[in-house]
Structure 1
Amino acid sequence: MTNPVPMAEIWRADLLESLHLGHAVICDDSGQIVQAWGDPQALIYPRSSCKMIQALPLVTSGAAAAYGLSSEQLALACASHNGAAIHTTRVRAWLEDLGLGDDNFRCGPQMPDDREARYALIRADQQPCQYHNNCSGKHCGFLTLSQHLGAGPEYVEIDHPVQRAVREAFEEVTDATSPGYGIDGCSAPNFQTTLAGLARAMAWFASSHDRNDSHSRAAQQLVAAMTAHPDLVAGEGRACTELMRAMEGRVAVKTGAEGVFVAIVPEKKLGVALKITDGASRASEAAIAALLVGLGVLDPGHPATIKRMAPVLRNRRQIEVGQIRAAKGLQRGS
């Protein structure tokens, strides 16, 4: 096993105060590793970074077409959203179209990350609902697929037809049998894969425009939805939204909990996956920005890039005291 390598550095004045280690892989459209840092075979949970894989059966089954889902809804199916009004109004409308309500979700309630939505609940002395959950769009997709299949209500159970379809899609695009699964924060199964397997899956999405089979066409739809609606995939102030906007629809990116980040780069037919071993989001955001700069698809001078790859650290008096820096080795690209 190859040890993790530096991914992000935390400097205070002229002293390296902290160091985040991790693994990263870039794969091409043949599934081959183009470049790797650390251990490509490190086994991980992709967490929410794989939502576009979990949404594949929604499209390949014919459910998306049968229910007339829009690109906005497909973007929400791939989202980890902030729970802002632009997210929750669309989720609630989707539920209504299905003839369902908040009680049909199995994701659990979550206080919105969006400040305005969160404060509105506090001022009204109300508790958050399940539609506020950052995964509620994905769960709308699960519910749509479950209805289309005529399956039962417990769609997050591992033996439910929805999750059997998700596992089949997951193993197809990673090109490996998953050795196991854990339960994600939203109660859905999350299948284990190697980092190389996750990067291979992203490259499969990135090269889908070269193929004309039904699964590849579904992948094209999902990538197009993500890049067309970056505000729905995450939200204002979030790395996924701001980086996709900075790349003007050329690349789809998606974060996952515990320091996972992926990128789909169609113009280069490349897939990127990384994992920070200590789970720090500040490090995964710095690392993915550096890798995208190295690949020549993200402007190093764009404010969204600087905000992630080299943000200034300030104290409570707003005095500049240090900086987060992506590790230099990541910026060489491939």
Structure 2
Amino acid sequence: MTSSRGRRTNSAELEVRLLREGIIESKHDVQAVVCDNRGRTLLVAGSAETATFVRSSLKPFQALAVTTTGTLERYGLTDRDLAIICSSHQGKIEQVRQVFNILWRADIDPTALQCPTPAGKRSPLEYNCSGKHAGMLAVCQQRNWPLSGYLQRNHPVQELILQKVAELLRMPGVEFISARDDCGAPTYFLQLGQMAALYAHLASGDSLDMERIARAMIHHPTLVAGEGEFDTELMQLTEGELVSKAGAEGIQCIGRLGEGLGLAIKVMDGAKRAKYAVAIHLLKQMGWISPSVSETLVESFANISEVARLEVAGELAML
């Protein structure tokens, strides 16, 4: 990844405050980075070198295994299927049926899924990462790779995913640190600047494969997350200008379509509520969303109740 050599790469962190009738009750420290698709850090709050697991924000890049192997064409998969492959869905019937469609078209039995069955549910199809797993299995079927063991780091499908991410970040694959995500698939330990650079690539339009992934996500936002979820609401409200994907433990990544810019956010204590408040604050600061869109999102994600709201202090600094 290209770095900003000889220049400052950090600044003051952001702070999210929970105010109860105007009195501070809780605080969250947050770091954020904006990069372009050449890997250059443009804006930062905290440090671009802060490293953490990318979690589910990796899904659009795991989907490159599907778009670059002819798997979509082989099984007649559509952008709806690609959107669910990138999703952290709610397990709604529409979403579960879309996951099943991938497996059915690729002639794979749902018992091949190795993601967990959610508590109180009947099938791993209902797990929020099942679309990603179905996509991995479809690639294995298309390439005649074993369906068993597809989550192992040395399985060909995982080696292919690592290769695609390594190429985007211009790093040797052997340098990546990985760990198992909650669904069992590998996730990577990346710097915030690297996450932002990945989303800059996703939004740049430089690659037909990534352009198709971004288009699938923005055209089918209810499959990517679900009604009332931040990613879905943001992509609906911005009408194709932003592509958004949340990750667990306070990760949020957003790309600005056509401009090759990516934003990565990490709430240091992992709080979900804080990342949405920061995303709204920064998107408004940068002019990526209008005041009216900001107000709508604030009502849904920053105004917690009649007596409690989230407030963000600080801004991104230019390097």
Calculate the TM-score normalised by the size of structure 1: 0.87
2:3 aligned partner? none
Could you report, residue by residue, the CA deviation over 1:209-247 in whole angstroms, capped at 9, with x for unpaired residues?
2x3xxxx11000000000000000000110010111110
Taking every aligned residue pair, what percent have the same amino acid on both sides? 31
Relative distance call for 1:43 and 1:308 in structure 2 (3 A) is farther
Whether 2:242 is the aligned partner of 1:247: answer: no
Which runs of 4 or more aligned residues in structure 1 lie more than 6 Å from their structure 2 counterparts after TM superposition? Answer: none
1:140 aligned partner? 134
Q: C-alpha distance in 2, partners of 1:53/1:304?
A: 29
2:4 aligned partner? none
Contact 1:287 1:309 in 2 (8 A): no
SS at match of 1:297: coil
Matched AA of 1:139: H
1:166 aligned partner? 161
Matched AA of 2:311: R
Deviation at 1:54, TM superposition (A): 0.5
Deviation at 1:50, TM superposition (A): 1.2
Contact 2:200 2:255 in 1 (8 A): yes
Whether 2:289 is the aligned partner of 1:289: answer: no
SS at match of 2:307: strand
Q: C-alpha distance in 1, partners of 2:94/2:15?
A: 34
Could you report, residue by residue, the CA deviation over 1:127-158 in whole angstroms, capped at 9, with x for unpaired residues?
42100000111111101111111111211110
Could you report, residue by residue, the CA deviation over 1:250-276 in whole angstroms, capped at 9, with x for unpaired residues?
110000000000011123321111111
Contact 2:30 2:267 in 1 (8 A): yes
Whether 2:315 is the aligned partner of 1:329: answer: yes
Deviation at 1:13, TM superposition (A): 2.2
Q: C-alpha distance in 1, partners of 2:171/2:230?
A: 29
Identify the range of structure 1 (277-286 vs 167-176) with the bigger mean alpha-carbon deviation: 167-176
Q: C-alpha distance in 1, partners of 2:12/2:118?
A: 33
Which of 166, 178, 183 is the equivalent residue of 1:181? 178
2:105 aligned partner? 97
Contact 1:287 1:327 in 2 (8 A): no
Q: C-alpha distance in 2, partners of 1:200/1:234?
A: 22
2:187 aligned partner? 190
SS at match of 1:22: strand
Deviation at 1:333, TM superposition (A): 9.1
Contact 2:44 2:318 in 1 (8 A): no
1:310 aligned partner? 302
Contact 2:91 2:126 in 1 (8 A): yes
The count of aligned residue pairs is 307
Deviation at 1:85, TM superposition (A): 0.9
SS at match of 1:249: coil
Which of 264, 272, 276 is the equivalent residue of 2:263? 272
Whether 2:220 is the aligned partner of 1:225: answer: no
Could you report, residue by residue, the CA deviation over 1:49-72 in whole angstroms, capped at 9, with x for unpaired residues?
110011012111121222221000
Identify the range of structure 1 (75-84 vs 296-305) with the bigger mean alpha-carbon deviation: 296-305
SS at match of 1:271: strand
Relative distance call for 1:7 and 1:53 in structure 2 (3 A) is farther
Could you report, residue by residue, the CA deviation over 1:12-35 in whole angstroms, capped at 9, with x for unpaired residues?
223222111121110113221110
Q: C-alpha distance in 2, partners of 1:161/1:307?
A: 45
Could you report, residue by residue, the CA deviation over 1:140-180 in whole angstroms, capped at 9, with x for unpaired residues?
11011111111112111100000000111111223334431
Which of 15, 23, 26 is the equivalent residue of 1:18? 26
Relative distance call for 1:173 and 1:80 in structure 2 (3 A) is same
Deviation at 1:300, TM superposition (A): 2.9
1:70 aligned partner? 78
> Structure 2 stretches of 5 or more lacking a match?
1-8
SS at match of 1:107: coil
Whether 2:52 is the aligned partner of 1:58: answer: no
SS at match of 1:36: strand
Contact 1:285 1:308 in 2 (8 A): no
SS at match of 1:262: strand
2:5 aligned partner? none
> Structure 1 stretches of 5 or more lacking a match?
112-121, 315-319
